[in-house]
Chains A and B, each alone.
Chain A
Amino acid sequence: MASLRDLQASFAAALREDSAECAVTPRENLSIYRNNAAINFRTALGLSYPVLRRRVGDDYFRQLAVQYRERHPSRSGDLHWVGRDFAAFLAEHLQGTEYAWLADLARLEWSREQAAVAVTHTTVGAEVLSRFAPEQLEQLKFSLQPSLRLHASDFPIFTIWAANQVDNAPPVDQSLAGECGMVRARADGVEVRPLAPAVFSYLSALSAGAPLGEAVSVAGLDQHALVHALGFVFQEALVCGVAI
């Protein structure tokens, strides 16, 4: 008699391929499970990428979902994760086409998904800096909120994302300059926000673990800009800890 493992393997094979042998009755009802799996996958993917779906339309999104699922089937019992590889898939699938920007938009939307489920740590205020001597400031390392994600694109993805929060938004001019910005969880939801390139470079360096002095240097900030940038991370409640 076939083992449970064999029976489940044959059932799974029949969900992938209609002609595969599977000892169930009525056999034609396997199509219900086959459809459920495809629809659940596509629906979850659409919920993770609402702006991308709006931009490409339901029909093309459905095609993309089928092709993506063939290459990247679900690897988790939690549907939340089905979209994990979608941006990488799109980058390869759309390489060299006029839709290459969709991959960057997908990265932004996936960050939004991740930020929504990231843990939130208690933040510290700027007064924490008073614990350090002025000459130590350059060596300070910041731990930032785990939900923070930083994005830079050759395309105006933050403008595209913001413009497509409603149905039937007009297309955004793709010849606009590239943009950079951040995604992070707040108490009232997930924030998607473009940043000035210098602030983006500074945040990226801090986020990668660089000490404050190095982050300031990488971003090319002068004294005035430094005060502003330092104030920014505390005002935005991005700092969870500061240490030498």
Chain B
Amino acid sequence: MRALERARADYPLSLHGVGLGLGSAEGIDRDHLARVKRAISRFEPAQVSEHACWGQAGGEYFNDLLPLPYTDEAVELLARQVGEAQDALGTRLLIENVSAYVAFEHSHLHEWEFLASVAEISDCGLLLDVNNVYVSSKNLGIDAHRFIEGMPLDAIGEIHLAGHTRNGSVLIDDHGSAVCEDVWQLYRHAISRFGAVPTLIEWDTNLPALSTLVAESQRADRMLGELRGLAA
């Protein structure tokens, strides 16, 4: 907490939640919502984000980012609960696309259509995780470029990049290695479409030397710089 307060003194914070379960049909975790509200009061982050996922059923929490079926009912529920969370927290949320390993047979919307509808109804922003787009596209046979082109132009408030691992034919999002070349190219595509959006390298397992992490961050900076050069 004290380390965070020191960082907060010099840098704006982006508070990134994983526990609210905003798409849980049995409702969001109110106790956790109250704790997030206290964290927001204490640290006054510049941005607050969560995921387009669910996390509990029958009173049991799985503490994971479980995928939603992309249906009208799920759009309506997620948008309503995002709205409730935004009202309770007193801030606009950015909602992130998750890495998926399975797809519901009931889905009849594309994930980008689903997210765009949720953003429109709840007036939230979106957080585009480019590695998650890549992982889901490989696992579920989705066109990653079409995903990025389908995301609404004016809603993307933050971009995440990360590494993943391969387990047989499945890619697993694990935030434990360098961003792969394909994801960097997708990122270039994303910022050419959405502009110089604040970008975070997520690397929170198998931590490397700081210099490795800084080099990843500098590569993102260079790509954003090139974009600005083109725009000038």
Contact = CB atoms under 8 A, between A and B. Distances in A.
Contacts of B61: 73-77
Interface string A1-32: 11111011101100110000001111101101
Contacts of B56: 12, 77
B44 interface: no
B26 interface: yes
Q: Which 5 A-B pairs have the closest CB atoms?
A: A77-B19, A12-B57, A77-B29, A5-B25, A24-B102
A78 interface: yes
Contacts, number: 104
A74 B60 contact: yes
A74 B18 CA distance: 15
B11 interface: no
Given A4-B74, A5-B26, A7-B69, A74 B104 contact: no
B24 A41 contact: no
Interface residues of A, number: 35
B52 interface: no
B104 A24 contact: yes
Kindly name the residue among A8, A16, A30 whose own CB sees the greatest number of chain B CB atoms within 10 A.
Answer: A8
Interface in B31-90: 31-32, 35, 54-64, 66, 68-69, 71, 73-74, 77
Contacts of B19: 76-79
Interface of B: 2, 18-21, 24-26, 28-29, 31-32, 35, 54-64, 66, 68-69, 71, 73-74, 77, 101-106, 139, 167, 170, 172
A220 to B, nearest CB: 39
Contacts of A9: 57-58
Secondary structure of the B contact surface, majority rule: mixed
A12 B62 contact: yes
Contact of A23 (B21, B31, B106): B106
Contacts of B35: 78
B31 A76 contact: yes
B71 A11 contact: no
Contacts of A41: 63
Contacts of A73: 60-61
Given A23-B106, A24-B105, A75 B57 contact: no
Contact of A29 (B24, B66, B73, B139): B139
A12 B60 contact: yes
Kindly name the residue among B64, B66, B74, B102 whose own CB sees the greatest number of chain A CB atoms within 10 A.
Answer: B102
A53 B81 CA distance: 38
B32 A33 contact: no
Nearest to A44: B63
A77 B104 CA distance: 23
24 contacts: A2-B106, A4-B25, A4-B73, A5-B25, A5-B57, A8-B26, A23-B106, A24-B102, A24-B103, A24-B104, A24-B105, A25-B103, A26-B102, A29-B170, A30-B102, A32-B172, A33-B101, A37-B63, A73-B61, A74-B61, A74-B62, A77-B32, A78-B31, A78-B32
